[in-house]
Every structure is written in structure tokens, then in C-alpha cells.
Chain A
Amino acid sequence: MRFPFRLAMRHLMARKARNGLTVLAISIAVFLLCFLIAVVQGMEEGIRSASSHRLVTQSAVSLFVDLPTSYQQKIDTIDGVHLTTKFRWFGAYYQERKNFFAQFAVDHQRFLDMYTKDIEIIEAVGGTTGPAARAAVQKAFASDRRAAIIGVGLRDGERFGFQLGDTVPLIPSIYPRADGNAWEFVIVGIYRPLKARIPDTTMYIRADYLNEAFDSGEALGSRGAGVYYVNTEESVPIDQVAKDIDALFANGPQRTQTITEAAFASFFVSAIGNLPLFLGTIGGAVLFSIFFSVVNTMMISGRQRLQESGILQALGFRPFVSTMLLIWEGLIISLLGGGIGILLALATEGSLIRIFAQNIRNYQISVPLMLLALGISALLGIVAGLAAGIPFLRSSPTEALRSSG
């Protein structure tokens, strides 16, 4: 038996306004769904990419309290500690506040050794590329206290376009200079992240430069380390190392809290409670309410279509044809909405990646995600059509014919 597709299309076209609104509602919901899932996946990817042999030692009071530089030597002596570096938030911006990107002050002799598996140096000042670039950057980082290593995003991003050898002025928002001028840094190397957790728009500068500038009065601020990144030996249990570090400073002057890099990364992710769960709940609630409004719309259609079912049955169609019509219509509406939602997610992917660059490295509308969204849309359409069309299967042709359309 042939299915009256044309009738379904005519019904869809006959209620352009209502069906258009339904398509719109679904497209927004599906866009939101893609967005939220991509955000959550991006965050989780970041946490997963954390090293399992790295600790972060921070002040027990707050992340925003700097640890003393004197702690480094003591941590270095602890059994199981392989390598440490200071890691201090610098918080300056380029030209305008909105051109914000992260800068961290690190130990220049140690940083690249610590981050061997985390970043790849793709080019050094002077033009060295390939495997030799790392050593060249290491050398250049040590030779100028204003030296800085930047992520490839700062070279390629429209707003920055920093090149090797450039002197980049950064306007301070935390540590003003005594002369009131901007800080200046010289780009000596460009890295590409190897881990999802690391943005490609970070700048690494020398901690000793800052501390000397504070000591000499060249800039306003006090000597400090920020937090310490600690690489541990594989032979020693990482939990033991963390305990030993915190035990060392249990009596002050500042107590520490040492956690794994994964926990540290997820601290940012869950800064307002459990963010993935929170986003998931919002997404679920939105989806749920849209879902019911779609089912409701389809059920209104269904009630108005009982008489049509009676007419079709008198003409010799089986009752399920009316049910199939509604399922088909529901499917077209929901797939159209879902498709638009996915296109919307794809169209905004680029700008959202730029917006999230600092925080969510792996925001991505992946093919599996699109398929999931499309599958959910299809399911929505089928269930809505089914809910609206099931009553047709139970009503007798005479009952259906008597109902007023």
C-alpha cells in the first residue's frame, strides 16, 4: 500500500505558523543541547588530559594567595619530587581589556622540562623549527629576562598576531609598573598544546623577572610563586608525595594544599559546584519542556484529525495510516528543527571556540554529537507523532466520522 505522503506535506504546509514555531523551538533546543554537551565534553576532556604524575601545590587558604618562593627548595628535597616550577598568574592584557589572555610566570630553566609532554615547541626565534626548536627556545628564554613563549593562537588569532621577535606591551591589571608604562615581553618561542587542558593562547613569562622587578621597586607587587607545579617520580605513589608536601608546611608560615593536576583542572571546571551536572540539568529541563510542548502541539493536531481518520477509513485506509501520517509529520518537523539546530551549532562553533579558548580547549561539535542530536530529534518526532496518533488506532471508523473536525 502506498502511503499518502502528499497529505502529510499538505498538512504541514497548511499550518505554516504553528509548525514553523515548533521547528524554531526544536532548533533552539537542539542547538542548546549541542552547545551544552560540547561544553561539558570539552571540560571533561581537559580534566582527562591532566598528567597523572603531576601535583599542584597551592595555598590552603585560597588559590589567590601566593605561596612564598622559599617553599620551592624545600619541596624539591621531598622524596618522589622530580621537578617543580612556580606558576603565577600575571593578569595583564594587550591594548584593550577584551583582548585578554592568560599569562603565567614560570621558572624559565625548568618550565620546558616540566612540559615536555604538554606542549610542543613549533618555532624558535631565529626561525628554528622541528626537534631543535625546543632547545633553541630554552636558550632564548634564558638569555633575556623579558623573554616569553606564546601559544600558536596568539600568533594566528586576529586580535593578536604576535610574531617571533616582537616586543609585546601588556597593560597590567594586577601588578602596575612604577613608571606607569606597560610591561614589555619579547616573543622567543611558539608552542602548540599537546593536551586538551592547555589553551593555545597562553603566554609563559619568567618568574624571576617579576620577582626582581618587585624587589627593586620597578613594579608594585611582592615576591611570590603563585602555585607550584610538581612533577613526581613514577616510583613513588603520588598521594604520598602530596601528603609529604602538605606535612612539610603544616606549621606555616603558610599551609599548603597539594592536589593532583586533574583535581586542580576540575576545580576550575566546577568552580560553581558541579558545572557539568548543572549544565546537564539545565539542558535536560529545557529539552524536557520543549519535548512536551511539541508533543502537545502534535496532540492538538491529532484531535483535530480524528474525523480525517474516519474519512480515510471510509475510503479504505487502515487506521494506522492516520497514526503514520502524524508520525511522519512529527518526524519532518523535528528533523527540520534538529537540522537547523545542528547547523546553528556548527555555524557558531568557530566563535565559541574563540570565546572559550581560555577555559574550554575542546569545544567541538563533533560528528557523533551531531548524530546524537539528530537521533534525539528523530525520537522526539516519532514519540510526539505516536502520542498524537495512537488514539486513532483505538477509535472505530463510525466514531471517528462522527467527531467534528
Chain B
Amino acid sequence: MPDKFITLNNVSKSYTRGGETLKVLDQLHLSIARGDFVALMGPSGSGKTTILNLVGGLDSCDSGSVHVADSEVSAMSRSELPAWRSRHVGFVFQSFNLLPVLTALENVMLPLQLTPLSAAERKKQAAFALDIVGLTDRASHRPNQLSGGQEQRVAIARAIATDPAVIIADEPTGDLDRSSADEVLQILSRLNSELGKTILMVTHDLVAAKKAKRVLELDKGLLVEDQQQEA
């Protein structure tokens, strides 16, 4: 198993707001293996979302480097990043972030718009992704016609539609009740174990963290705990 699929090397990141500079990450080192399922925990404001944004190429670090697969994400320009994201990462958000004007199927088809697939192929692939999350029968529903758990499953289908190697999930069960959360976690586990997706998931939920193979604990931008778990 190639040990370093995702690496953060000496990464520092600070935000300036109203003249005050807040150092969020200070020379952070982190590496994640291909096919791993990592839960990232820690108190609010400890920099978890910041790490996800750096790995997903939504934000850039002040110093250090971020590698994902063979790409140095931190060296890419703002104009290169969108295409890279489209091919390599899928995002799952706490608040689902589906587009309310589109149906479930159309939401899942959206990222496929950026691929060279034909309309028919896109539809087929989106339907396949919906099938993986068990929502084939909800394809033509709008987000407001779905339960929170269903919405999040559609969002997961959208994240995997282009078949990216990495899935980044920021508190994916944060807005869900226990049983919906368990369904979502079940799907993420399957994506990891059956499809080999590398998953980096932020969570405050100990039950959720239990599903991961590795749990990282962050505090004030520093890794304070790193433990492997048996499934």
C-alpha cells in the first residue's frame, strides 16, 4: 500500500480579519494512505474545515505543500484547481448543499457536465450513483421533497458521480438524526471498502468516528492524537 496518497507537509495557514491575524495551522504534517478512511475530530475552530479546504483545493496555504495522489495541489493556480477538483475529489457537506431547483438526478448529473460524456452516458452514470446510495426511486424528486438523510445520500451520489479517488466530508452527519446518520455512515464505509475511495471525514460524532479506520484529533491546529482502529 503506497503510504502517502495525501500529504500535508509543513503546512501553515492563518487568516487575517479586521487587522488581527489568526494562525489556524502551524507547520502541520499529515499523511494519509490510499484507500484509508480517516475521521478528523477536534473542538470547534481547531482548523478541521481548513484542512479539508486545503486538501480539496478550495483554499491555499501560506507555506508548506499539499500533495494529493501525484499532484501538488498547493502549487496549482486558481485557474487549474477547478478542473483538478472535478476529476479527483468529491465533496460532502454538513448542510448537503444540493441545488434546490434541480431534481435528485439532475443534481448528481451536474458534475458530469464537466466530463466528455454524452448526455445519455451522463444520465446512466448518475443513475448508477443514485443506485449506489439506494435512491433510484427518488431520482425525479426535488431536494425539498426529500428527507435530510435522503438529501445527504443524493449529495454523496453527486460526490462520487465522476468517480474521484478522494471523498472529503465535512460533518456529513451533523444535521441528521441517528438512524439517517447511520445510513450515511454505512454508505461511506461501503464506498471505502468496496470502491476503494480514500475518505477524509470531519466529525464531532464518536459513533461516526468509530466507522473510520483511523481517527485524528486536532487541537489549535496541532495533531494531538492519531489512532488506528480495527473495523
Question: Of B59, B91, B113, which one neighbours A396 at CB under 8 angstroms?
Answer: B59
- The residues of A that contact B79 with a CB separation of less than 8 Å are 318
Name, among A308, A311, A312, A396, the residue most crowded by chain B CB atoms within 10 Å (CB to CB).
Answer: A311
Asked whether, in the complex, the Cβ of B102 is within 8 Å of the Cβ of A2, the reply is no
Interface stretch, picked from A4-12, A213-221, A265-273, is A4-12
Q: In the bound complex, do residue B114 and residue A315 qualify as a contact, i.e. CB atoms below 8 Å apart?
A: yes
A315 pairs with B158, CB closer than 8 A = yes
Q: Are B58 and A315 in contact (CB under 8 A)?
A: no
Partner of B114, one of A2, A10, A314, A398: A2
B22 within 8 A of A: no
Can you give 24 contacting A-B residue pairs, CB < 8 Å?
A1-B113, A2-B114, A4-B113, A7-B101, A7-B102, A7-B110, A10-B102, A11-B101, A13-B101, A14-B101, A311-B97, A311-B99, A313-B82, A313-B85, A315-B111, A316-B82, A316-B83, A316-B86, A316-B114, A318-B82, A396-B59, A398-B58, A401-B58, A401-B97
Q: How far is the CB of B78 from chain A (nearest CB, A)?
A: 9
Q: Does B36 contact A (CB under 8 A)?
A: no
Q: Which residues of B contact A311 (CB under 8 A)?
A: 97, 99
| In the assembled complex, B14 has its CB within 8 A of some CB on chain A | no
Whether A317 contacts B114 in the complex (CB less than 8 A), given A401-B58, A401-B97, comes out as yes
Number of interface residues, chain B, beta carbon within 8 A: 25
Partner of B53, one of A7, A14, A317, A398: A398
Q: Does A397 contact B (CB under 8 A)?
A: yes
CA distance A317 to B158 in the complex (A): 14
How far apart are the CA atoms of A318 and B162 in the complex, in Å? 17
Complex contact A308–B91 (CB within 8 A): no
Other than the given A314-B56, A317-B114, 6 more pairs (CB < 8 A) read: A6-B102, A6-B106, A10-B102, A315-B85, A315-B110, A316-B162
Per-position binary interface string of chain A over residues 1-30, scored 1 when its CB falls under 8 Å from any chain B CB and 0 otherwise: 111101100110110000000000000000
Interface residues of B in 91-105 (CB under 8 A from A): 91, 93, 97, 99-102
Check B56 against A316 for contact (C-beta < 8 Å): no
Partner of B99, one of A13, A308, A397, A398: A308
Whether B86 contacts A315 by the Cβ 8 Å rule is yes
Chain A residue nearest to B155 (CB atoms) is A311
